[in-house]
Structure 1
Amino acid sequence: MSEVQNALEIAFMQAVREPASRPGFYKLLLESDIYIIGKTDAEGQGETVLQPDVQLSIFNWKRQDGTPVIPFFSSLPMLQKTLQQESGYVALSAKAMFEMTRGTALIFNPGSDYPKEFEPGEIDALLETGVNHVAQQRVVQKPTQVMLGQPAKYPSQMMDALSTLLARHASVKAAYLGLMHDREHDAAPTLIIGFLGDGDVEIAMKEAGSVAADTAPEGVPVDFMCIAKGEGGVSDYFLQSVKPFYERSLGAKLRGLFGSRA
């Protein structure tokens, strides 16, 4: 993407370079208008509001395996750069387009230096959670013995990305890394991240799940949990035996208390 045109393209390029910025890109994408190749049966040209009875035809391409993929674009110049011949186009909100094309793969800015494909599952996750990965929740119904320790190989890429992300969430006081094996549930050990917070850390954990999905060692699952003093079990292991990989700075705490200034 050699010529950046708007805030969405700036956010996308930041997300390409830095995994911790990807949740912010997804949030902005859902709030943005995008362009698709297509037409409506409404009369006239120019900006208009699509009425419920207007038919919208969306152009799609074929992958090498024959499956359809719908191209969409961050700006009109990006769309025009890709077209080989004059075609109609429609601007609409990305969220509305995701809803109406649900179940079909999409490709963002094809023809650019960094196209991004979205599989149907990613679109479902974006619409349901605001990020491209839906975490699976597990509720422990009974006291369970687990083995705890540290991974033999430190997942540096994931840890660096999570540290950068968590610095943007003032509700997270600290975060810890461990290796856990629940033999009744998992065939192999999983990485586990413990979040120590000052309140609701749900948004931070949701975004962290998206970042971990992109940066965790291949084939290694990652579990998240909230920890607190006095809870015993895994919480005590982290708080008493493990140095946090992330600790909130005073500056981050003050930003959380008073808000950031433009």
Structure 2
Amino acid sequence: MFEPDNSLEALMQAAGRDPAIVPRFYRALLEAEIYVLTPEAAVDPEQPRSLARQEKLNVATVEFQGLTWLPAFTSKKRISDYVKAPEACLGAPARNLFAMLPDANFWLNPLSECQKPLPASEVALLMQGTIFAKLQTADSRT
């Protein structure tokens, strides 16, 4: 049984059950720190490091249903559930990662009981803020 590790995960789980919570989840996601795997980063997996300006970043990807996805995690526990050996990762507010990696498909907590694919089109709507109006319109139709 999935036990939320933080408030973002609790909102993510609740949004899966109640569509009225989805806007709250999206707002929290933008501000929350999430993590992506950076296997070739020159860093000790246990030590924090800042990115240099214009630093190139190699982020781990997975292929699923013909698309490339960036596994992203809502907590360090979700990373250790996904990879068993220590792995270098980059943690940053989701808004910053989405901006740094435009046009990327993100997959929150792959292989977890509480996961969410975020296709690039959905991330773009989220970053533009237009997703909230779309959700409100969809709500008014039901």
Pair in the same fold by TM > 0.5: yes
Deviation of 1:69 after TM superposition, in Å, equals 0.8
Residue 54 of structure 1 corresponds to which residue in structure 2? 55
Compare the two structures and name the one with the higher helix fraction: 2
- Give the number of aligned pairs: 141
Deviation of 1:214 after TM superposition, in Å, equals 6.8
Deviation of 1:213 after TM superposition, in Å, equals 3.2
- The runs of 5 or more residues in structure 2 that have no matched partner are none
**Would the aligned equivalents of 1:31 and 1:93 in 2 still touch at CA under 8 Å?**
yes
**Would the aligned equivalents of 1:61 and 1:70 in 2 still touch at CA under 8 Å?**
yes
Q: TM-score, normalised by structure 1?
A: 0.48
Counterpart CA distance in 2 for 1:92 and 1:6 is 15
Aligned residue for 1:48, secondary structure, equals coil
The higher-RCO structure (CA 8 Å, 6+ apart) is: 2
Residue 148 of structure 1 corresponds to which residue in structure 2? none
User: Greater Rg, structure 1 or structure 2?
Assistant: 1
Please give the residue correspondences for 1:159-238 in structure 2 after superposition, counting only pairs within 5 Å: 206=133, 209-213=134-138, 216=141
**Per-residue displacement from partner, 1:75-122 (whole Å, max 9, x unpaired)?**
000111011444322211211111122212111111111321111111
Please give the residue correspondences for 1:38-53 in structure 2 after superposition, counting only pairs within 5 Å: 38-39=38-39, 41-42=41-42, 46-53=47-54
Please give the residue correspondences for 1:120-131 in structure 2 after superposition, counting only pairs within 5 Å: 120-129=120-129
**Would the aligned equivalents of 1:61 and 1:71 in 2 still touch at CA under 8 Å?**
yes
- The runs of 5 or more residues in structure 1 that have no matched partner are 134-205, 218-262
Distance 1:214 1:51, change over 3 A: farther
Q: TM-score, normalised by structure 2?
A: 0.85
Distance 1:105 1:215, change over 3 A: farther
Residue 82 of structure 1 corresponds to which residue in structure 2? 82
**Would the aligned equivalents of 2:43 and 2:88 in 1 still touch at CA under 8 Å?**
no
Moved over 4 A (4+): 39-45, 214-217
CA RMSD of the aligned region, Å?
2.3
**Would the aligned equivalents of 2:37 and 2:90 in 1 still touch at CA under 8 Å?**
yes
